[in-house]
Amino acid sequence: MEILLWLVPPAVVTLLAMAWVGWIGREGRGEVDPEVAVRRMAAALSKPTQQRYAAARPRRERSTGIAVRPSRRPAPTKRAS
């Protein structure tokens, strides 16, 4: 049990730091006036945006793990005139 006493100081420091950050962090969240928020949103929505679309990639056949040679196309036949 005595060997665990070295954990007490870091645990106390951690708890104090958590309490301090929690207390200081409360003040950091100011409320925004609704009028200002509406104006900001209107300005953001009125900006023109560039829409970019990704090129569609051709779908590849799923590999089955078996090597298969592609079938050959039949030789073109000569047309009789």
pLDDT, tens digit, 9 for 90 and up, residues 45-75: 998 877 777 777 777 777 777 777 777 776 7
Read off the tokens for 80.
Answer: 């009789």
- Give 81's pLDDT tier (boundaries 50, 70, 90): low
Compare 10 and 80 and report the one with higher pLDDT. 10
pLDDT of residue 70: 73
Mean of pLDDT values over 18-27: 83
Amino acid at 38: V
Q: How far is Cα 8 from Cα 14, in angstroms, rounded to an integer?
A: 10
Q: How far is Cα 56 from Cα 79, in angstroms, rounded to an integer?
A: 39
